């Protein structure tokens, strides 16, 4: 059982990041040259990701800009919002397709959920009553303390069927693993990520001026999570099983990155002191990360409060993040990149990208803490996930490796084609170099990352010109 299965039981731009007004197909390149089979597949896959996964999830009934993280909303709720990694990934894909108004409306909704300490919840539910039992998966929910109200701002283009009424909502800030508390910095980080992507897409200084205080408040919350060891607390940034208790390498990389984005946005607004302060925070966290995590030729995975530095599961996603988000030094990148490219276990089952290269090496002390309810999915997130592929794609972009980027997109398209352009939430390593789907079917993450990868890399995917805005 994963982090959202309690729904069944009880009732996610930067100026550089990878992220279709139209999904018109094309059968020829700009030179009128017939497309290859791989080009046709990538075009079909990107169009399918939009038309079969992302657009059907954009319902906009609960409020303008609302979308679900699965195609039908059945698994994780038709009115719930997941303003952590999932929604950031999907919203960024919508920006690339020209759906600006929808993403601006989504951002306003999430902004309303922000607490006084600057934090953003990683899940939001209708708040007229408790969304379910709070003695198991929702045991971290503070109801009614974290109930808030939201009334959408009217914008041109909003559908007539959107609910424009003042409504109560409640945010979830604390995980059911209350001691390790994974995902605890996910909402605030993802909020800054989508804010920076919105500005990169719209170039609206008016919008940024209006939102910068809220974005900085989220950044200040992240600063408050930096421990005496100089690392950002938060356990698993985007995984919970196992929780990577307590200083996840992915948390550090994204933390550094969003501090730099806050500096960049303040620079645009001419706020020199704020820009300088955020750069200093980024540099300090980067220095502590490299000093702690670099292991001669790769980066370790996380730091446990009792067992220290953990580096026993082969290569991990932290390595893709360090390169893709621009954290690794030039010399470290030179050493690490050939090692990552040569490691076939990241694409076990011919599918990108797995969390670690040695998935069978986890120890019991790495599993979920003792819980007052039954739980046995201790390594559910040790799998191939779109969020890890995204980091690999960022690394390929930074390294100019268009061939590997295309190969990974083709593999995702090949699997999607077998299932009518819908993907599962996870793909666990199976026997004989296979993968087994797990979690929700019709989950929108792989679809969103495919759109981001293809539409944000015209040099690598020239055949997708007709799909870009």
Cβ atoms within 10 Å, residue 310: 21
pLDDT score of 113: 98
Domain membership of residue 1 (yes or no) is no
Entry pTM: 0.93
Above 70 in pLDDT, residue 30?
no
Provide the terminal-to-terminal Cα distance of the chain, rounded to the nearest Å: 39
pLDDT of residue 208: 98
pLDDT at 11 over 90: no
Total of domains in the chain: 1
Cα separation of 397 and 1, whole Å?
34
Q: Is the pLDDT of residue 23 over 70?
A: no
Q: How far is CA 71 from CA 58, 384, 416, 419, in A?
A: 8, 20, 14, 13
Of 10, 21, 2, 7, nearest in space to 468 by CA? 21
Tokens at 333, concatenated: 């990148």
Query: Residue 194 sits in which domain range?
Result: 6-467
pLDDT band, very low/low/confident/very high, at 130 (cuts 50, 70, 90): confident
**What integer pLDDT is reported at residue 31 of this predicted model?**
53
Identify the pLDDT of residue 114.
98
Any domain includes 183: yes
- Of 223, 280, 231, the closest CA to residue 252 belongs to 231
Region 54-78: what's the mean pLDDT?
95
Apex 117 CA angle, 111 and 123, nearest 5:
50
Instruction: Report, as an integer, the average pLDDT of 240-267.
Output: 98
pLDDT in tens, 432-458: 999 999 999 999 999 999 999 999 999
Residue 18 has pLDDT above 50, yes or no: no
Strands 147-150 and 167-172: antiparallel
Residue 244 gets which letter from DSSP? -
Share of the chain above pLDDT 70, in %: 93
- pLDDT on residue 210: 98
**Percent of residues, the chain, with pLDDT higher than 90:** 88
Q: Report pLDDT for 32.
A: 67
Give the H/E segment covering residue 435: strand 435-443
pLDDT score at 467 = 86
> How high is the pLDDT of residue 468?
79
CATH number of the structural domain spanning residue 287: 1.50.10.10
- Position 283 confidence tier, pLDDT thresholds 50, 70, 90: very high
**Residue from 172, 186, 242 nearest 12 by CA:** 186
**Which tens digits make up the pLDDT trace of 145-164?**
999 999 999 999 999 999 99
Residue-level pLDDT at 3 = 43
Position 10 scores a pLDDT of 36
Q: Which positions ≥6 away from 376 have C-beta within 8 Å?
A: none
What is the rounded average pLDDT of the residues 392-401?
98
> Within 203-328, where are the H helices?
205-224, 249-268, 272-293, 317-324
Report the pLDDT averaged over residues 8-28.
Answer: 36
Does residue 413 sit within a domain? yes
Rounded distance between C-alpha atoms, residue 236 and residue 239, angstroms: 5
Q: What is the spatial distance between Cα 213 and Cα 196, in angstroms, rounded to a whole number?
A: 13
The C-alpha atoms of residue 380 and residue 18 are separated, in whole angstroms, by: 26
CA distance 335 to 314: 16
The β-bridge partners of 424 are: 441
Structure confidence at residue 257 as a pLDDT band (50, 70, 90): very high
What pLDDT is stored for residue 20 in this prediction?
33
Would you give the distance in Å from CA 336 to the centre of its chain? 23
Give the pLDDT of residue 33.
80
pLDDT in tens, 289-325: 999 999 999 999 999 999 999 999 999 999 999 999 9
Task: Tell me the pLDDT band of 7, cut-offs 50, 70 and 90.
Answer: very low
User: Which pLDDT band, with edges at 50, 70 and 90, does 2 fall under?
Assistant: very low
């Amino acid at each position: 059982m994963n982090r959202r299965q309690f729904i069944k039981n009880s009732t996610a731009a930067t100026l550089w990041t990878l992220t279709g007004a139209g999904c018109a197909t094309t059968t020829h390149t700009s030179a009128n040259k017939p497309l290859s089979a791989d080009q046709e597949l990538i075009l079909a896959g990107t169009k399918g990701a939009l038309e079969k996964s992302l657009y059907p999830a954009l319902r906009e009934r609960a409020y303008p800009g609302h979308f679900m993280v699965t195609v039908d909303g059945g698994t994780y709720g038709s009115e719930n919002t997941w303003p952590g990694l999932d929604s950031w990934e999907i919203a960024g894909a919508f920006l690339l397709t020209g759906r600006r108004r929808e993403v601006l409306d989504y951002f306003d909704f999430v902004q309303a959920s922000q607490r006084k300490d600057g934090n953003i919840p990683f899940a939001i539910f209708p708040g007229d009553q408790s969304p379910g039992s709070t003695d198991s998966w929702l045991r971290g929910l503070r109801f009614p303390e974290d109930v808030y109200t939201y009334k959408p701002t009217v914008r041109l283009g909003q559908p007539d069927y959107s609910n424009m009424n003042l409504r109560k909502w409640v945010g979830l800030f604390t995980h059911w693993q209350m001691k390790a508390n994974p995902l605890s910095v996910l909402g605030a980080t993802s909020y800054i990520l989508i804010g920076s992507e919105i500005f990169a897409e719209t170039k609206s200084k008016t919008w940024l001026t209006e939102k910068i205080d809220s974005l900085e408040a989220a950044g200040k919350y992240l600063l408050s999570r930096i421990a005496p060891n100089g690392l950002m607390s938060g356990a698993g940034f985007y995984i919970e099983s196992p929780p990577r208790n307590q200083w996840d390498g992915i948390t550090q990389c994204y933390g550094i990155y969003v501090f730099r984005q806050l500096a960049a946005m303040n620079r645009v607004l001419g706020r020199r002191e704020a820009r300088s302060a955020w750069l200093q925070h980024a540099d300090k966290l980067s220095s502590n990360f490299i000093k702690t995590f670099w292991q001669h030729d790769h980066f370790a995975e996380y730091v446990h409060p009792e067992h220290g530095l953990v580096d026993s599961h082969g290569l991990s996603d932290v390595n893709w993040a360090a390169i893709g988000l621009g954290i690794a030094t030039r010399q470290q990148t030179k050493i690490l990149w050939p090692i990552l490219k040569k490691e076939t276990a990241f694409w076990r089952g011919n599918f990108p990208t797995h969390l670690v290269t040695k998935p069978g090496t986890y120890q019991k002390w790495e599993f979920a803490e003792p819980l007052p309810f039954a739980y046995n999915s201790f390594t559910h997130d040790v799998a191939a996930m779109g969020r890890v592929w995204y980091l690999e794609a960022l690394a390929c972009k930074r390294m100019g490796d268009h061939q590997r980027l295309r190969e990974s997109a083709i593999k995702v398209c090949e699997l999607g084609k077998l299932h009518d352009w819908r993907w599962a939430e996870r793909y666990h390593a199976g026997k004989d170099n296979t993968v087994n789907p797990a979690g929700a079917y019709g989950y929108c993450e792989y679809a969103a990352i495919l759109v981001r990868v293809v539409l944000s890399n015209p040099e690598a995917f020239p055949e997708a010109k007709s799909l870009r805005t």
